[in-house]
Amino acid sequence: MKFSFKTIKKSAENILLKEKGSKFIGFAFQINNETELKESLNKVKTEHPKATHHCNAFRLGILGENYRANDDGEPNGSAGLPIYNQLLAHEITNILVIVVRYYGGTKLGVSGLVKAYKECAKQTLEECEIITKELETDLEIEFEFEKQNQIFTLLNKFEAKIIDFLADEQCKIIAKIQTKHQENISEQLSEMQNISFKF
């Protein structure tokens, strides 16, 4: 099971590559869902309405299981796929790369297009800082007030982030923990008396 994934720290844009009069501009966006994907695509289309093509590729999900490559009118496999292959080469996910092309009057041929789109995507990604993100799980614990030190010590040990804490006779904590610690925390909480928890 995977507990972390690589993505880019923040979006990058405007890596310009000129090839026989055509202009290629690269954009990279860190995305977490289909909504952010659509917003990023629309943003670039709005900023470059006169571009001949808006070719792109994205990967979503820990294993990059949700993906697509789009040639946007370029010959089949000449644009989207070379961009997508760069996402694979950098082993990143939750990312969208768009390469905008302004046609310069000279046809590049399929091999020329593949080279230009690949190079533009590669340079765009090289501008980005690639980070590793740990998967997180929400944990909810209910316990008696006198147990709170014991609970907080345990959560501290696993570097949990406390989201909410309701202190009463019966207390409740909502925390975020790294998914890789889930089994360990679960075992230790199970050994305590009079508490209930769920992930």
Q: What is the pLDDT of residues 144-188, one digit of tens each?
A: 999 999 999 999 999 999 999 998 889 999 999 999 999 999 999
Residue type, 47: E
Residue type, 11: S
Write down the pLDDT at residue 88.
Answer: 98
DSSP sequence for 158-195: TTPEEEEEE-SSEEEEEEEEEGGGHHHHHHHHHTSSSE
**Whether pLDDT at 74 is above 80:** yes
Percent of the chain at pLDDT exceeding 90: 95
pLDDT, mean over the chain: 95
End-to-end CA distance of the chain: 17
Residues, the chain? 199
Which residue segments constitute the domains of the chain, with CATH numbers given? Answer: 4-133 (3.30.230.30), 135-198 (3.30.70.240)
**Whether pLDDT at 37 is above 90:** yes
Q: Tell me the residue ranges of DSSP E strands in the chain.
A: 4-8, 12-19, 22-30, 53-60, 66-70, 95-102, 130-134, 136-144, 161-166, 170-178, 195-198
**pTM for this model (two decimals):** 0.82
The pLDDT-based confidence of 6 (bands split at 50, 70, 90) is: very high
Residue type, 131: I
Write down the pLDDT at residue 168.
Answer: 85
Considering only CA atoms, which of 104, 59, 94 is closest in space to residue 80?
A: 59
Asked if residues 31 and 80 have their Cβ atoms less than 8 Å apart, the reply is no
